[in-house]
Amino acid sequence: MQAGGFTFHPHKTQLGRLDKGFDWLGLWFGSNGQTMAQRALYNHNKKRQRLYYQARKKAMSESATQERVRIYEI
Q: DSSP secondary-structure letter at 2?
A: G
Find the DSSP H helices in the chain. 38-57, 62-73
Residues above pLDDT 90, as percent of the chain: 53
Q: Does residue 57 surpass a pLDDT of 90?
A: yes
- Cβ–Cβ under 8 Å, residues 57 and 64: no
Q: What is the pTM of this model?
A: 0.66
Domain boundaries, position 52: 2-73
Q: Which pLDDT value is given to residue 37?
A: 93
Burial of 2 (0-12, 13-18, 19+ CB in 10 A): exposed
* 24-50: pLDDT as tens digits: 899 998 888 889 999 999 999 999 999
How many domains, the chain? 1
Q: DSSP secondary-structure letter at 3?
A: G
- Cβ–Cβ under 8 Å, residues 70 and 63: no
